[in-house]
A and B are shown apart, each in its own frame.
Chain A
Amino acid sequence: MTKPWPVPDIDPDASVVTTARAILAVRAGELFSYDAVFPDAKAVAALHNARIAAKRLRYTLELFPEVFGEDGEAVLADMKALQEDLGIVHDRDVLIASIERRLGTLIDEHEAGTDAVRASLEIVLARVQKERRTRHRAVAAQWKRLAGGDFRTRLERLVGGHAIPTAPVE
């Protein structure tokens, strides 16, 4: 799992509202850094990390509901949907890897009866790969809709005067 981007210069004595907005700005920057990853069907690990970034943004909104109010809830709903769809892609990726590993083992084993299992697994694999392609297209379209719409503007409103970073700031 990738480490979360650090939130620089947190002042424990600063108000929770100011600090929560600064944290949200960093989490938003972290998610936007995956912009080029969403359309890339082959980016298995990076898509998983994008899902984690969406989850971190979601948890920040959930941590301070009084700060972000109804606008925060709307972004939260977008994040839940994105995270859910990315989760389905990830589950397909895990299953594909598991089937491929198993097929590799069966080829090595050459045990009686494994031919039927192998043939069946190859059918399963082909179906799951096809589903994965469909699911990924849905995720890419979902992100395009978010990024092309007012998602960023809504986040900018939520973070107040804080800039959304484009890279981690130590």
Chain B
Amino acid sequence: MQASEGMRCVGKRDGRDAELAPAGFDEAMQALIAERWRDVWKAMPDPAQLTDPEAIHAVRVASRRLRAAMDVATDAFPQRWYRRLHKEAKAITGEFGDLRDADVMLETLRAERETAPEAEHAGLDDLIAQQERVRARALAEVRRYVKRLRKRRVRQEARRRFPRPSRSQRKALRQAIATEGAAQ
């Protein structure tokens, strides 16, 4: 793995995989954030496939996990590029929020409609119709956002700043953390 500006190699000493010394926080976060960005892009659907509620949920979960990692690593990465990527991570969660909320609400309402007594049908049908309109508006917004995200080449920037460590490097890092954790 080539070290890019602002990062250090994970699990390597003198250019080769090595017996690891206790893992530094910045090294560990470099690897963990790289993994979490990868999970976000893996979950990110094409704008055309944004209709699947499970896909929307997966992006939200992956972006929240990414944020949890980036939130605690700000001191380890004081550079401006980090702040920009951190902001992008927050934006992904936010931009998908309304659409996810609409999906959750629709799923709840439709499930309730199945079992509700007849006296509730008119009310639930009205709420479902309303929520479908809300979802359509939110979906249009997210489609525009995903297109913008692609145009701004955020994925390429994230990959450049947080290249994924090799499998052996990830394994070595996990072992080093586990060994140190057990020793303390």
Instruction: Tell me the A residues contacting B by CB distance below 8 Å.
Output: 4, 7, 10-20, 23, 55-56, 59-60, 62-64, 66-69, 91, 94-95, 98-99, 102, 116-117, 119-124, 127, 160
Contact = CB atoms under 8 A, between A and B. Distances in A.
B101 A94 contact: yes
Residue among A7, A68, A120 having the largest count of chain B Cβ atoms under 10 Å: A120
Interface residues on B, range: 35 or more
Given A10-B25, A17-B22, A116 B101 contact: no
Q: Which secondary structure dominates chain B's binding surface?
A: helix
B113 to A, nearest CB: 10
Contacts, number: 113
Nearest to B23: A16
Contacts of A4: 71
B28 A16 contact: yes
B72 interface: yes
Interface of B: 22-29, 32, 64-65, 68-69, 71-72, 75-77, 101, 104-105, 108-109, 112, 116, 119-124, 126-127, 130-131, 174, 177-178, 180-181, 184
15 contacts: A10-B75, A12-B26, A15-B25, A16-B27, A16-B177, A18-B184, A59-B64, A60-B72, A63-B69, A66-B174, A91-B104, A95-B105, A102-B130, A124-B123, A124-B127
A69 B72 CA distance: 20
3 A-B pairs with the lowest CB-CB distances in the bound complex, closest first? A120-B123, A59-B68, A121-B123
